[in-house]
Each structure stands twice: as C-alpha cells, then as structure tokens.
Amino acid sequence: MDIEVVLTESDPKLGQRGQVIRVSAGYAHNYLIPHKKAALATASSLKNFEEEKVRHIKALADRKAQAQTLADKILSLSLTLEVLAGEAEKLFGAVTAQDIHEGLLSRGIAVDKKDIQLPEPIKKLGAYTVSVRLHPEVQVKLKLWVVKKKD
C-alpha cells in the first residue's frame, strides 16, 4: 500500500524539498519519517510547506534587492589604494582581495573578501577593474586605482 509524504529535504532520487510523492508505507514509516527526510502529507503539513516556500522566495528577493543596492553604490565608487612601490612601478608585495576588502570597509561598504574576484594579486601600479560577486545574480565591476604612497 502506497502513502503520500512531503519531502522535508531534497533527495536526488526522490525529488525536491516540499514535493509530494507516493512511496510504500514501509519505506515511509521505517526510513523517511524516522530520518526526518519526509513527513506525512496532511493538509496542515502541505499548508506549512507552502507558507515556508513563500517566505523563502520573499527572503531571496530581499537579498537580491540588497545586493543590487550595494552594487549601485560600488558602481559609483572609484577605490584608490596607496601602496609602497619601487622602481618600474613594481609593488613591494601585492594588492590582494584582503586589501580591497579593507579599502571598501573604510568607505563604509561591507563585502566579503571571498566575493572579490582577483585572478591573481596585483603587483604593479595602475588602474584595474575588479569583479565583485554580491549575489548569484548580481555581479559588479569595481574601479580600482593602485598608486604609489607619498613619502
């Protein structure tokens, strides 16, 4: 005899979280429900999953809107980092994502340093364009100037 259950977590063989599936009663009662992978498909559990889905979609939209606002701020910004440099415009050390992160923080913009995408550390003076990924769907280019520190 098959029963209907609602998946409480995604499984590649069974389906996505919140999906209603039919499985054998033994599989449901002996494995899925005790391991909290599914719950019986009752009217209240279906309603709870729908409400959770709506909250989740709203939270995703809010995060994307916040990321877009931050992207607009970064786009209008030109960050200048002063570094020690020797002859031939070569830096003592390199400009890394951590340095850019600290420069943005000094301007009041909080970005995770893992989201600053540098293919390799910057080792020369000049103007650069650095990608910053704020959200899976929001990526912005930051204008970065690396200049010699005045003595």
CA 76 → CA 73, 142, 143, distances in Å? 5, 9, 9
Query: 84-133 pLDDT, tens per residue?
Result: 888 888 888 899 999 999 999 999 999 998 999 998 889 999 999 999 99
Please provide the average confidence, as pLDDT, over all residues in the chain: 90
Q: For residue 119, what pLDDT is reported?
A: 86
Co-location of 133 and 81 in the same domain: yes
- The pair of structure tokens assigned to 80 is 């200048």
Q: For residue 52, what pLDDT is reported?
A: 86
Euclidean distance between CA atoms 19 and 10, whole angstroms: 9
What's the domain range around 45? 2-63
Euclidean distance between CA atoms 150 and 82, whole angstroms: 8
> Given 63, 86, 108, which residue is the final one in a domain?
63
